[in-house]
Amino acid sequence: MEKSNAVAALAALAQDNRLDVYRLLVQAGPDGLPAGQVAAALKLAPNTLTFHFDRLRGAGLVSVRRDGRSMIYAARYDTMNELLGYLTENCCQGRAGRCVPARMKRAPAPAPAPARRKEPVT
């Protein structure tokens, strides 16, 4: 995955309602859900929802198909996998064993270097 795609995917997920939408679609499985059902579940106005679907779609995180008068949206797991791959690579860069393993073995955070002059702001 390229940086620009990663940024797009991150931006698409970096919004409360959209993250909810995406999570709901992930839960719903590969068959997806009709827009109306998502709207009902999350209590979002249909036009607002369209707006969010567009962004998720633009980032490649969901796909749509029509079924009768419903539009059915589904999560694209492949894109999320690529995003995770991108983040993992760019988080551990140069020093393997920092991210995925750490995530699995719940390693303690590396001891921070002591501040030399004043109290750290963090």
Binding residue (CB under 7 A) for DNA from 3, 66, 95, 105 = 66
1 touching its own copies, by CB under 8 A? no
| Minimum distance from residue 26 beta carbon to DNA (Å) | 18
Q: List the Cα angle 42/4/16 in 5-degree steps.
A: 20
Q: Which does 42 bind (CB under 5 to 8 A by kind): its own copies, DNA, none?
A: none
Binding residue (CB under 8 A) for its own copies from 1, 5, 15, 42 = 15
The set of residues, in sequence order, having a beta carbon less than 8 Å from that of 57 and lying 6+ positions away, is 63, 64
DSSP state of 112: P
119 touching DNA, by CB under 7 A? no
69 touching DNA, by CB under 7 A? yes
The neighbour count for residue 13, using CB atoms within 10 Å, is: 18
